[in-house]
């Protein structure tokens, strides 16, 4: 496995979301390497009312406006962090939410509970498992940092598409992508197969 270069990332947010399914997410923490195979993502587009960047740039969503491949981390519901990859061109304001991951390396280092298939099943759990903190916000997945995206460790299966989960605006758009049948995918059963 090697690091993905920015030039390899599709510029279009929906294409990037689809591209990232099957790729590897790596956190080289002081305690050791944690990595996982991305199995579920969602795209948030320019002009999309559900996108945090929809109402313009603020201090919180600044990272969404960086060139594609940067890290956007935010805190929600008083309890959970979400990990996103910025998308589109610099200044656009779009991103891809990483929703679920199949653990590969460093399972013992990951925070959370439950079976290995459940520890990173859902965006809040994924961020908790990978020990994502606000300090990563604004960082670069394509730079030399400890948090990065790698090539696929094994071929990706069939990719399914569905509506996004947990949103109220533009809820009908099919911008969620996942590996069909993978037990680590979150959401109701009808949105996993």
Partner DNA sequence: TGCACGATAATCT
Partner DNA sequence: GATTATCGTGCAA
Q: What does the DSSP 8-state code read for residue 140?
A: B
User: Closer to DNA at the Cβ: 4 or 64?
Assistant: 64
Cβ atoms of residues 152 and 22 within 8 Å: yes
* Distance, CA of 67 to CA of 177 (rounded, Å): 22
Q: How far is the CB of 62 from DNA (least distance, A)?
A: 9
Q: How far is the CB of 65 from DNA (least distance, A)?
A: 12
Q: How far is the CB of 32 from DNA (least distance, A)?
A: 22
Q: How far is the CB of 118 from DNA (least distance, A)?
A: 7
Handedness of CA 168, 170, 172, 178 (dihedral sign): negative
User: Closer to DNA at the Cβ: 54 or 148?
Assistant: 54
Handedness of CA 52, 14, 176, 170 (dihedral sign): positive
CA atoms within 13 A on the CB side of 127: 24
User: Closer to DNA at the Cβ: 26 or 94?
Assistant: 94
Which stretches of the chain bind DNA, using CB under 7 A? 42, 44, 50-53, 55, 58-61, 64, 72, 74-80, 82, 84, 95, 97, 112-114, 122-126, 164-169, 186, 188-190
User: Closer to DNA at the Cβ: 61 or 182?
Assistant: 61
Percentages helix, strand, coil for the chain (3-state, rounded to 5) are: 15, 30, 50
């Amino acid at each position: 496995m090697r690091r993905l270069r920015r030039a390899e990332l599709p510029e279009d947010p929906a294409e990037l979301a689809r591209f990232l399914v099957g790729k590897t997410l790596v956190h080289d923490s002081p305690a050791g390497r944690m990595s996982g195979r991305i199995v579920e993502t969602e795209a948030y587009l320019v002009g999309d009312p559900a996108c945090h960047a929809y109402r313009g740039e603020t201090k919180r969503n600044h990272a969404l406006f960086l060139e594609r491949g940067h890290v956007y981390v935010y805190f929600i519901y008083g309890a959970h962090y979400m990990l996103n990859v910025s998308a589109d061109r610099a200044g656009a304001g779009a991103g891809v939410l990483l929703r679920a991951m199949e653990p590969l390396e460093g399972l013992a280092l990951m925070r959370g509970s439950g079976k290995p298939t459940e520890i990173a099943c859902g965006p809040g759990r994924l961020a908790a498992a990978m020990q994502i903190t606000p300090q990563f916000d604004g960082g670069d997945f394509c730079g030399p940092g400890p948090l990065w995206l790698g090539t696929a460790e094994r071929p990706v299966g069939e990719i399914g598409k569905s509506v996004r989960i947990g949103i109220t605006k533009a809820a009908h758009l099919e911008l969620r992508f996942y590996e069909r049948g993978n037990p680590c995918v979150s959401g109701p059963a009808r949105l996993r197969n």
